[in-house]
Amino acid sequence: MKRQLFIYGSGRHTVPFLNYMAKATGKEKPNFCFIPTASGEDQDYINSFYDVCSQINVIPHVLSVWINSYDQKESFEEIIQKMDAIVVGGGNTLNMLAIWKAQGIDTALKNAYNNGVVMGGGSAGSLCWFNAGTTDSRPAALSIVQGMKFLDKSHCPHYNSEKSRRPLYHNNILSGKLTDGYACDDRSAIHFINEKVHTSVTLNDENQSYYVYVKDGELIEEQIQGTVIS
């Protein structure tokens, strides 16, 4: 069973990225689930997901964490296991992970990942799958948040769009606060299969993805050549 992650720098829904995820499932019309926990289940964000899904061949679903046992009889595990692909939205990574842990959603996602459900997302929805990275989830300044470690590397989204992200990511890797890892410009994505880079895709030539690591005490930023998709 292939374990697949598809992550990108921005949490904004786009037809090319969601269509890529849908095709990665190998299903003709996959069950595609959006988890908008990090945004507090913002309705405009959910509407955007449905709008994009109307343009690709999927069956859209949205998983809400604000439920009660009288109205919802299926467990989160049961719902997630029925999906072929799951996309996680942007927002507050720290709050999202705390809710998921309390509800057992983190475990349900890991089980589904191991069973071949394609996982992905951008911003908080990309950071959550890695061991750690920088987040704006706390007051005052960017800080480090621990992820679910599906991929035991660090991660930095918004690599080209937020000026403080790139130098802070470099400094954290150089100092050992973060491990080596992967960074994505807002409109670039990386597809991992069995925790290894399979390919990188991008919406334009200006946005790319990178592997960032230290060698002989020097910070190395290695571009992962991306194929433009539309």
Q: In CATH, what number is assigned to the domain containing residue 80?
A: 3.40.50.880
Work out the pLDDT band at 51, boundaries 50, 70, 90. very high
Q: Sheet holding 218-224: strands in order across?
A: 143-146, 130-135, 151-156, 181-184, 209-215, 218-224
Mean pLDDT across 103-119: 98
Inform me whether the pLDDT recorded for 154 exceeds 90. yes
Can you name the residues that pair with 227 across neighbouring β-strands?
Answer: 201
Q: Range of 171's domain?
A: 4-228
Say how far apart CA 215 and CA 228 lie, in whole Å: 30
Percent of the chain with pLDDT over 70: 100
Q: Is the per-residue pLDDT at 141 higher than 90? A: no
Q: DSSP secondary structure string, 160-194?
A: TTSTTHHHHHHHHHHHTSS-SEEEE-TTEEEEEET
Closest CA to 124 of 115, 113, 133: 133
**Count of domains in the chain?**
1
Euclidean distance between CA atoms 92 and 123, whole angstroms? 9
Closest by Cα among 185, 42, 156, 26 to 34: 42
Give 133's DSSP letter: E
**How large is the average pLDDT for residues 66-92?**
96
Catalytic residue set: 123, 158
pLDDT value at residue 142: 87
Residues, the chain: 230
Q: Is the pLDDT assigned to residue 1 strictly greater than 90?
A: no
Give residue 28's pLDDT band: very low, low, confident or very high (50, 70, 90): very high
Over the chain, what is the mean pLDDT? 97
- Show Cβ contacts of residue 123 under 8 Å, excluding neighbours closer than 6 positions: 9, 10, 11, 38, 89, 90, 91, 157, 158
Confidence band for 136, pLDDT divided at 50, 70 and 90: confident
**Whole-prediction pTM:** 0.96
84-95 average pLDDT score: 97
- Per-residue confidence at 143, pLDDT binned at 50, 70, 90? confident
